[in-house]
Every structure is written in structure tokens, then in C-alpha cells.
Amino acid sequence: MKTLAVLSRKGGTGKTTLALHLAVAAQSAGLSTLVVDLDRQQSSVEWRRQRRDGALIVEALRPGALFTRQQDAGRDGVDLLIVDTGPSLEADVEQAIRCADLCAIVARPNFFDIKAVADTAALAQSFHRDVVFVLNQAPSRRNGHENPAVGEAVLALRGLGGVVAPIGLRSRVAYQQSVSLGLTAQEHEPEGAAASEIAALWRWIDARLSAERAPAPHTPTFVALGAERAARPY
Ligand SMILES: Nc1ncnc2c1ncn2[C@@H]1O[C@H](COP(=O)(O)OP(=O)(O)OP(=O)(O)O)[C@@H](O)[C@H]1O
Ligand SMILES: [Mg+2]
């Protein structure tokens, strides 16, 4: 079993959105997937209550119970444990980091988010964890051009010592609409751009979790994978 912790001590960066979309992608790929929600707000658990599909298990958990739950899940045949965390205390985030094979730190491409994730990244690195940054709510390209804020964010995140996932999530209504229905964007709009980027991001995360670490992209650019480019190698 592998454990993915989704982190950022700043509120509203997209931790829950990312955790749930990756969980559904993993489950759809045939992995037995468990989401545990350490956040007292219990957004993931609320989403699960809205959901009709019974396959994906989402549980609320006290951070102190994570290690034991992880051991049990491994014994029960869970393939992937995803830990959704809150904008919370260092002690809670530390529990998630300790249990993680991979720490995905979520940030939007803005000054405040980037500054706020530095501590989280340093904490994960102090435990020698594999750290990847996932950009969320990136503005869409205009006339084929990336917004400069995206490139700046990628460079700043690299400066914190982690790898930036070459696929991030754009700001899209599909993410908001789908979760309000207890769905994910790939279920709500399977042919949509959000579904494409989630599929590509999941493949990259899965490779990183399951094998030798995926190579970092060579250029400091944010690779946008639209539907037409979904087959492009990382
Ligand atoms: N890529 C996106 N495009 C558009 N809206 C998004 C995107 N990602 C997240 N959102 C919206 O931003 C808000 C915050 O997202 P989310 O709850 O996932 O963040 P969070 O980091 O889990 O927040 P918290 O710190 O409170 O747990 C939600 O309304 C969500 O629908
Ligand atoms: Mg959340």
C-alpha cells in the first residue's frame, strides 16, 4: 500500500479537491482506495455523504489515529491511502507527513500561497519525504500563452526544493460544480478539460508513488495538457 498526503497549511488552496479527484481517478484505475479526512471541517466526509456511488470509502479520523489506521488499511488490502489534511496545526500535518510515501503540497500561483507552503515543504523534507508541488487554480492560457504568474510560481516552488508536477489544475467551474453533487469533474464531465488534466496528473502521481521517482521536467514551464495532448509523455 502507498500513502499520499495532501498538504498545505494555508486554507482553501485545493487540498480536498485534489485529494478527492485523485482518489476517484485511482479507484477508477482499479486501486482499492481509502480517503481519510484529518480536517475538523470534514469537507471530504461531507462530499462522501452527497455521493451515491458506494465504492470509495472516506473516513473522518483524528490525526493521532492515522498510524494505526494505516496499518489496518494495509492489512485489509487497501492499495492507496489518501490523507486529506486541514489548514491545521503543525502537529496534525506532521502526522500525515510521517505516514506518507509522497507529500503533495497544493498551492495556487500567488505570492501568499507560495510563501505559506514553504514551512510545509521544509517539514516534509525534514522527514526525508518525497515532496511534489501541485499548482491549483492556475489561470487558463490566453492565445496559447501562459500567464506569467504560473511560470513565476513554478520557479518559486522549485526554489523550495521539491519537484513541481508538470500537470496542474486550471481554475475551472467543473471542479466546483462536480463536488457539490458528490462527484468529481471526470465523472460529471468525462470529456471535459478538467477530466483530462486529472487523468494526466494521476498518471504522473501514480508513477511517482509506485516506482523510481519520475524525472523532473527539464524546463521551468507549466505543461498544460488539454484533451488533444493527453497522450504526451511527461
Ligand atoms: N481548480 C479549481 N478550479 C476552481 N475552483 C476550485 C479549484 N480547486 C478548488 N476550487 C474551489 O476552491 C475552494 C477551496 O477548495 P478546497 O476546499 O478543495 O480547498 P482546501 O485546501 O481543501 O480548503 P481547506 O483548507 O478549507 O481544507 C472550493 O470552493 C473549491 O470548489
Ligand atoms: Mg479541505
DSSP 70-109: HHHHHHTT-SEEEEE--S--HHHHHHHHHH-SEEEEEE-S
Residue indicated by cell numbers 506569467: 148
pLDDT at 231: 29
Among residues 25, 176, 180, the alpha carbon closest in space to that of 35 is found at 25
- The number of C-alpha atoms within 13 Å of 230 and in the hemisphere containing its C-beta is 15
CA 56: distance to chain centroid? 17
pLDDT at 226: 34
C-alpha dihedral sign at 127, 131, 135, 136: negative
| Successive 10-residue mean pLDDT values, the chain, 234 residues | 94 97 97 96 96 92 96 97 90 93 96 92 94 96 89 92 93 97 97 96 94 50 38 26
Residue 107, judged by CB atoms within 10 A of its CB (0-12, 13-18, 19+), counts as: buried
Indicate yes or no: pTM above 0.75. yes
**Site to substitute for ligand 1 among 175, 180, 184, 198, most atoms within 8 A of C-beta:** 175
What residues have a C-beta under 5 A from ligand 2, the ion? 15-16, 43
Domains of the chain, earliest start first: 2-229 (3.40.50.300)
pLDDT at 36: 98
Ligand 1 centroid – CA 75 distance (Å): 32
| Element of type H or E holding 59 | strand 57-60
pLDDT at 88: 74
